[in-house]
A and B are shown apart, each in its own frame.
Chain A
């Protein structure tokens, strides 16, 4: 059932350039890591898709990069305000992997803290533009951090089941190195449930809806 739930904002913390928005969990199912939620934005027409960053018994956390009017409004929410949330949506990561390695780039690390927890804190390789951005690495246990001009693909240890999220060029590079990887992609979405056809990405040579087919896709 596609039902939005009104959740109370518990608070937010600044994490480098990002904001970790915490909401009271209520009865909301946190879903599988890599799945996402549509977060209503005060004063804006459309909600924004966000993967779940942290899940405790009482709260859900979303790591948000304030890059536009919608994300800036989400980062400005204060404790006690109410937020309507739809989800979990889409397909998350398969968790039945033997030697997991988490790979993240920039704000793409957002789903990795929750994924790390569900996989008992496997090793992680995270790449960031600056040390300021890399403050977010503190959210992911067992993480090796690289800063530009070094890229995560230069330091990937072999023999792992890669679960990755980050900018498209990083995911393309990871795909070339590890064809068995699971990759979490991003696309603009108006609805998150297959109605708007806005989040089209090329999958198997065809444009398909990322919210329905993904956002986590097999690399090959």
Chain B
């Protein structure tokens, strides 16, 4: 299991020591042209999570390749966004010769007006544009499993689950939206059950590895995402309140795994799919790999 940051939730250049606590750094989404992002106010806190409408602020692919990417820690994944299939393929082509371990296709940003085309179409075009591993980042929509299957069929090597979902906060006095844009992406604790459900569904629906994220703030949350079928875990909103979260959550996860009798986090991946996990003996957990425990052999 690797610990990553969720895209857009950490700047490795302003907080290198926080990034150093992760196994892989994921960049903020890069688009072909520079974007200043949405007007302020861009963030709001609610009782159950945080709203953001940053709007894909980024320096654009030219400045990113010249000024940002060379200074980032490795391994690094680059999050790629756009408003047309061509936007995605252009950036994938530009990254082809770079020291980038994987490309995450942001197919689900809630904070821009122009949505890209269908998941399968973008992934297929990106697949043709790069040899690098592609992770499709999806929102926890009702059709997330269908989108995941479309991404897998189009050549995605993995899934990043989940992006935020649209939410709204109103000012307690004026009753107007707090965010200048109106609605924004909801993250934090409210997202956690949605993330678990999406990971659970996509683990059943596909055979590609999953980076689980959404409301992870404790080791227990990471454990549950792994059990639902994630192979890796990413931290988002928790980094804002606790820059020490990577080391803390890693330690908490180790304690959780030990309490459940697992020596290695890889051995608990998908445990939630087993009919009666409590009856499994330790031996059956050893060496279990994603894809080997189909419904048939788990039932046996």
Interface set of A (CB-CB < 8 Å, partner B): 1-4, 38, 40, 44-47, 68, 70, 86, 187-191, 193-201, 206-207, 212
Residue of B nearest to A46 (CB): B45
- Assess whether A196 is in contact with B243, with CB atoms less than 8 Å apart: no
What's the nearest-Cβ distance from chain A to residue B176, in Å?
15
The closest CB in chain B to the CB of A197 belongs to B54
Q: Which of B9, B39, B49, B240 has the most CB of A within 10 A?
A: B240
State the CA gap A193–B12 with chains docked (Å): 11
Assembled-state Cα–Cα distance A174/B208 (Å): 58
Central interface residue in A70, A86, A193, A206, by most chain B CB within 10 Å: A193
Q: Is the CB of B45 within 8 A of A70?
A: yes
Question: Which of A2, A47, A68, A197 has a CB less than 8 Å from the CB of B17?
Answer: A2
- Cβ–Cβ contact B9 & A195, under 8 A: yes
A3, A40, A45, A207 interface centre (most CB from chain B within 10 Å) = A45
Name the B residues within 8 Å of A188 (CB-CB).
Answer: 40-44
Asked if B239 contacts A197 (CB within 8 A), the reply is: no
Measured CB to CB, the nearest residue on chain A to B28 is A197
Question: Which residues of chain B come closer than 8 Å to A195, judged between CB atoms?
Answer: 9-11, 14-15, 18, 239-240, 243
Out of B37, B44, B45, which one reaches A200, CB within 8 Å?
B37
Residue of A nearest to B14 (CB): A194
- Nearest neighbor of B13 in chain A, beta-carbon distance: A194
Residues of A within 8 A of B13 (CB): 194
Q: What's the least CB distance linking B229 to chain A, in Å?
A: 26
Interface size on B, residues (CB 8 A): 35
Which residues of B approach A to under 8 Å, CB–CB? 8-11, 13-15, 17-18, 28, 36-37, 39-46, 49-50, 52, 54, 57, 172, 188-189, 237, 239-244
Closest to B5 in A: A195
- Complex Cα distance A187/B244, Å? 23
Across the interface, which residues of B come within 8 angstroms of A191, CB to CB?
239-241, 243
8 A-B pairs whose Cβ atoms sit less than 8 Å apart in the complex: A2-B244, A3-B243, A45-B237, A70-B45, A191-B240, A193-B14, A196-B240, A197-B37
Q: Are A4 and B50 in contact (CB under 8 A)?
A: no
Chain B hits for A200, CB < 8 A: 36-37, 40, 42, 54, 57
Contacts of A198 in B (CB 8 A): 42-43, 52, 54
Q: How far is the CA of A207 from the CA of B40 in the complex (A)?
A: 9
Whole-angstrom distance between the Cβ of A90 and the nearest chain B Cβ: 11
A199 CB to nearest B CB, Å? 8
Q: Are B14 and A212 in contact, with the CB atoms below 8 A? A: yes
Is there contact, CB below 8 Å, between A194 and B36? Answer: no
Taken together as a complex, chains A and B put the C-alpha atoms of A201 and B41 apart, in Å, by 9
Name the residue on A nearest B16 (C-beta).
Answer: A2
CA distance A45 to B37 in the complex (A): 24
| Contacting pair B57 A197 (CB below 8 A) | yes
CA A97 – CA B18 in complex, angstroms?
Answer: 35
Residue in chain B with minimal CB distance to A207: B36
Nearest opposing residue in chain A for B15, CB measure? A193
Within 8 Å by CB of A3, from B8, B39, B49, B244, lies B244
Bound Cα distance A149, B294 (Å)? 74
A86 to B244, CA, bound (A): 10
Give the CA-CA distance A201 to B40 in the complex, in Å: 7
Chain A positions within 8 Å of B241 at CB level: 38, 40, 45-47, 190-191
Chain A residue numbers with a CB within 8 Å of B239 are 191, 195
